[in-house]
Amino acid sequence: MRSVVALAAVLLALLSGPVPASAAPAPEPLCTMKDSRIGELSGLVSDGSKLYAINDGGSKVQVFVLGRDCKVQKVMTDKTDPFDVEDLARTPDGRLWLSDTGDNKKGRLTVALLEMSPQGKLTLHRLTYPDGQHDTEALIMDKAGTPYLITKDILGEAKVYRPSGPLASPGPTNLEKVGTVKISETDTQGGPVGSFGSVLVTGGASSADGTVVALRTYTDAYVYAAPDGDVPAALQRTPVRIPLPGEKQGEAIAFDPDGTLLSGSEGVGEPIRAIKGAAALAAESASASTDGKPASSANGGGSSDDGGVPVLPAAGIAVAVVGLGWFGFTRLRRRRG
């Protein structure tokens, strides 16, 4: 059954066509994550002078505060045992938001956001989806402090959810679906599952002023203009794609206050890399569009023949590679439930 699903997924992704890359500068190393305590980097934020990082999963809440040299300065902890933390966001008031939303086996009745004050006090906010379970690895906070969860979908069409009302503690608060984001297959090298990984959303971020948001897959980043701070509308615009080649298991993404995009991968010894001017690229792309309005779907572009049919790359080879990759992917995580 897994192989059938994987083959169907890659065919759909390939039919979307390869996404053209942007003219963004190539990622440059900022520092290297050498601390063995951060072996499964999954979420990252920046306040300009410090980085905040979390591991995937875990048996207690830990936020690592790092210098720009990737050296740990302190660890903010709480005894709460999360299920599967996957992403991290930070609001202007200094609060950190841990997205405890991983669910590879689609078995959770609720997911959660863990709100951590600058002093380390933790508040639990349980959430429920309106349409069943989802595996979610990306969190975006808009400039008003509204959280958006973006699912990791094997068909390359991620779903976007937000709370239907104020967050309760412990909750649960109902989520509502507010959109979808189509991610197309690319030829960027990297990730644990070959080209199939280029359609799986593994992280999210927003700029300091909330006017640019970003999603990433194992291989690429997609940067969207959000001039009015409207995240669902932004995700319907055509994004700027920034390749992030060579990341073994890239899940972390963040913006510096100056608009530099940061990315990172799981694994001790892996670098945090920086793409300067990434936020400005999205703003320039939006201002250069013909009408400045969102597209009918957010897909990062595509290629087609004269008849408007997407070009299908070497599907036979890709299907074989992805079938094997998906088999291995189901065995990657140590703690999922």
**What residues pair up with 218 in beta bridges, in sequence order?**
none
20 CB neighbour count, 10 Å cutoff: 11
| pLDDT above 80 for 317 | no
Residue where the block lists tokens 């890359």: 21
Got the DSSP string for 280-302? HHHHHHHHHSSS-PPPSS-----
For the cut 80, the answer to whether the pLDDT of residue 96 exceeds it is yes
| pTM for this model (two decimals) | 0.82
Which pLDDT value is given to residue 22? 58
Give the CA distances from residue 104 to residues 69, 313, 334, in Å, rounded to whole numbers and listed in that order.
Answer: 33, 29, 11
The arithmetic mean of pLDDT across residues 187-209, rounded, is 94
Please name the amino acid found at residue 18.
Answer: P
pLDDT digits (tens, 9 = 90+) for 227-285: 999 999 999 999 999 999 999 999 999 999 999 999 999 999 999 999 999 999 998 87
CA atoms of 111 and 82, how far apart (whole Å): 10
Q: In what order do the strands lie in the sheet with 173-182?
A: 85-90, 96-100, 111-116, 122-128, 173-182, 157-163, 147-151, 136-141
Categorize the per-residue pLDDT at 297 as very low, low, confident or very high, splitting at 50, 70 and 90.
very low
Tokens of 127: 């959430």
Say if residues 28 and 278 touch (Cβ distance below 8 Å). Answer: no
Place of tokens 């109902």: 174
Under DSSP, is residue 228 helix (H, G, I), strand (E, B) or coil?
Answer: coil
